[in-house]
Amino acid sequence: MMYALYLSAYHERKFWFSNRQELEREITFQGDSAIYYSYYKDMLKAPSFERGVYELTHNNKTVSLKTINAVQQMSLYPELIASVLYQATGSNEMIEPVYFYIGIVFGLQGIYVTALFVTSWLMSGTWLAGMLTVAWFIINRVDTTRIEYSIPLRENWALPYFACQVAALTGYLKCNLNSYAERFCYLLMSASTYTFMMMWEYSHYLLFLQAISLFLLDIFSVDQSDKVHEVYKIYIFSLFLGYLLQFENPALLVSPLLSLVAALMLTKCLQLNVKKGTFIAKIMKVINFYLVCTLTVTLNIIMKMFVPHKENGHMLKFLEVKFGLNMTKNFTMNWLLCQESLQAPSQDFFLRLTQSSLLPFYILVLIICLLSMTQVIIRRINGKSLKETVTLEDGRIGERPEIIYHVIHTILLGSLAMVIEGLKYIWTPYVCMLAAFGVCSPELWMTLFKWLRLRTIHPILLALILSMAVPTIIGLSLWKEFFPRLMTELTELQEFYDPDTVELMTWIKRQAPIAAVFAGSPQLMGAIKLCTGWMVTSLPLYNDDDLLKRNENIYQIYSKRSAEDIYKILTSYKANYLIVEDAICNEVGTMRGCRVKDLLDVANGHVVCEEGDKLTYSKYGRFCHEVKINYSPYVNYFTRVYWNRSYFVYKINTVISFQS
């Protein structure tokens, strides 16, 4: 509750939210966030819930010449739930829709940190670990969550449920768990897995990584094999139920998660009852691993052959270019590569984690756990029997199944976060949790002392003292250094000032015809859809090939193309108005070659890309500059009807004849 209230207070101070008009509040939702919130507004305006859902699933009022199932394509289940709750609870008489919406998201963030708190507590056995986890999470907020930048993002709705699922899985994997606790963890895990899958279109990829972690756990820890396979059943159930309730979404059928779980189930049926520890059993482990990998790939290929799908083909092309397996001049691919969230993490990221002492302790804990796991694996390979119950004095933290799972999972997530910075928002919260668990766990200290062969002081006593002293010292140092900064954030009143966008939206609502269609950058189109309700030609969404192609075509207004070319592109989408943004047209990019106009010049062959390419020039000037001068032929196609310091709006003339 305190964290949710903190986020609410910070948001109020950052945007001066309560003192803004509705239009100014809506402008704070940027890019794809604006689209999600606009559909929440549409649901509240609908005469009934059924009618609202129908209009969203057969939506032809958002993108020109295109009917979309917005619920499936944009995972709008959060907006459906929020609109139902808003009206069913009678909140429309007490609170404005926007406060109800952001209040739910902030509440979910409170559940998020609570789940991390519980996970760390379950692993370490002390609430101190939970407190340290939350402290590190909040201090490193820039790298643990995007909540303050884009509230309606799908991940802000989904990741709290994933954190709950991880907490339940951690409890479920623990040894010596009583039947009631085990049943509770199983039910919570089932509910949170399915909910997570419904909230985010990319959730099955994250669950795929979790399934790999559990598969490796099953190999290293045979004692938990039955529990692991129960989790696989939850995946299967969630996938098929999600497939049915997401309008038979083919993406779930061709997902790698389904192929992996199906392969694991098949190999489980093929396993022979071989005595553990024998040479044949070791050979069977290797064969089993090979079978799972081969079957997973085979099943996925077969599913993609028989199930019609458009499963993010651009993602595979992006990864090929990202890892240097392919070269391209394609605008969309190069534009995605230039996005900060899709590049490798900067040095500042590691510096921030080090300054808060998170990264050093995480690396220390990870190394100790990995070495202890390696010891356990070597013992098993050598056929040595392991104790059924591991005591503190044994100092074998690597034998605990929940520790093995978390170590593997954090390594997989960390490996991806080192390649794509945007994935740090999934990895860093678990870095906080694992580091806090380690420094607060007497068992981890005892494992370290066993290796050091400490004899001068009783190791158990020292481990208990350090597991309380070290987190206390860390907590006090964090309090002294970072607490004043957090308080300063809450006391400083920041200013959100964007009068040009407010003026543009006001002009559209007052002057533009209701049936008008607007063309411009996808980010601006999202804001227009939310603030005015007018139809647009493109959206800031990157999971649909047609929308990606539209975005590329509309961006040609910033290229060196003729007025006739641009006119043909815009009229092919039935656009009535064109909006040129000065910020894009006169962009001074910090990263070489990543400005929109530079990427367009490369894609259109108007500049030299690589050594050996021919130098070609366009005989036309840059359209966004030329159209402002108001001379022929531009004035024949476009008529300027509104402008301010940031935006130029042109009416696209309807009576034009082209000569072949």
Domain membership flag for residue 448: no
Inter-helix orientation angle 522-531/499-511, to 10°: 60
| Nearest one of 660, 617, 654, 612 to 637, comparing CA atoms | 654
Which of the four pLDDT bands, split at 50, 70 and 90, describes residue 660?
very low
Query: Is there a contact between 654 and 567 (Cβ–Cβ < 8 Å)?
Result: no
Residue 395 has pLDDT above 70, yes or no: no
Residue 290 has pLDDT above 90, yes or no: no
Lowest-confidence segment of 269-278, 298-307, 522-531 by average pLDDT: 269-278
Cα 441 to Cα 24: distance, rounded to the nearest angstrom = 49
- Omega within 30 of 0 (cis) for the link into 633: yes
Domain membership flag for residue 188: no
**C-alpha dihedral sign at 626, 632, 637, 641:** positive
Which of the four pLDDT bands, split at 50, 70 and 90, describes residue 328?
confident
Domain membership flag for residue 290: no
The pLDDT value recorded for residue 571 is 94
The percent of residues above 70 in pLDDT, for the chain, comes to: 91
Higher pLDDT, 380 or 261: 261
Tokens of 193: 């897995």
The pLDDT value recorded for residue 433 is 95
Is the pTM above the cut of 0.85? yes
Question: Tokens 């034009």 — which residue?
Answer: 656
Lowest-confidence segment of 274-278, 306-310, 527-531 by average pLDDT: 274-278
Polymer length of the chain: 660
Cα 461 to Cα 446: distance, rounded to the nearest angstrom = 9
Question: Tokens 């209009």 — which residue?
Answer: 55
Query: Chain-wide mean pLDDT for the chain?
Result: 87
DSSP 8-class letter at 235 = H
Query: Is there a contact between 132 and 149 (Cβ–Cβ < 8 Å)?
Result: no
Cα 6 to Cα 141: distance, rounded to the nearest angstrom = 12
Mean pLDDT within 219-234 = 84
Residue 314 has pLDDT above 70, yes or no: no
Question: The domain that contains 634 carries what CATH number?
Answer: 3.40.50
Which H helix or E strand runs over 490?
helix 459-491
CA atoms within 13 A on the CB side of 244: 6
Cα 127 to Cα 118: distance, rounded to the nearest angstrom = 8
Cα 657 to Cα 364: distance, rounded to the nearest angstrom = 72
Cα 54 to Cα 71: distance, rounded to the nearest angstrom = 10
- The count of structural domains within the chain is 1
**pLDDT, tens only, 398-425:** 888 899 999 999 999 999 999 999 899 9
Lowest-confidence segment of 66-70, 92-96, 232-236, 314-318 by average pLDDT: 314-318
**pLDDT, tens only, 341-373:** 888 898 999 999 999 999 999 999 999 999 998
The pLDDT value recorded for residue 232 is 94
Neighbours of 387 (CB within 10 A): 9
Lowest-confidence segment of 568-572, 607-611, 652-656 by average pLDDT: 607-611
Q: Which residues contact 24 (CB under 8 A, 6 or more apart)?
A: 496, 498, 502
Residues 262-284, buried b or exposed e (16+ Cβ, 10 A)? bbbeebeeeeeeeeeeeeeeeeb
- If DSSP codes are grouped into helix, strand and coil, which group holds residue 246? coil
Q: Side chain identity at 118, as an amino acid letter?
A: V
Domain membership flag for residue 178: no
Query: Is there a contact between 396 and 388 (Cβ–Cβ < 8 Å)?
Result: no
Q: Which of 118-132, 280-294, 395-409, 453-467 has the highest mean pLDDT?
A: 118-132
Domain membership flag for residue 395: no
**pLDDT, tens only, 194-226:** 999 999 989 999 999 999 999 999 887 666 788
Tokens of 592: 């070489």
Query: Is there a contact between 359 and 136 (Cβ–Cβ < 8 Å)?
Result: no
Which residue range(s) make up the domain with 523? 499-652
**Ordered DSSP codes for 372-398:** HHHHHHHHHHTT----SS--GGG--GG
The pLDDT value recorded for residue 518 is 96
Domain membership flag for residue 638: yes
Tokens of 325: 């397996």
Question: Tokens 């007018």 — which residue?
Answer: 534
Higher pLDDT, 657 or 261: 261
Cα 358 to Cα 356: distance, rounded to the nearest angstrom = 5
- If DSSP codes are grouped into helix, strand and coil, which group holds residue 311? coil
The pLDDT value recorded for residue 506 is 94
**pLDDT, tens only, 91-124:** 888 899 999 999 999 999 999 999 999 999 999 9
Domain membership flag for residue 569: yes
Cα 360 to Cα 366: distance, rounded to the nearest angstrom = 10
Domain membership flag for residue 627: yes
Mean pLDDT within 564-569 = 93
The pLDDT value recorded for residue 320 is 75
Residue 602 has pLDDT above 60, yes or no: yes
Q: Provide the edge-to-edge strand list for the sheet that holds 577-581.
A: 535-536, 517-519, 577-581, 647-652, 638-643
The pLDDT value recorded for residue 659 is 43
**Beta-strand (E) ranges in 5-105?**
none
**pLDDT, tens only, 465-517:** 888 888 889 989 999 988 888 888 888 777 677 889 999 999 999 999 999 99
Residue 458 has pLDDT above 80, yes or no: no
Query: Is there a contact between 410 and 427 (Cβ–Cβ < 8 Å)?
Result: yes
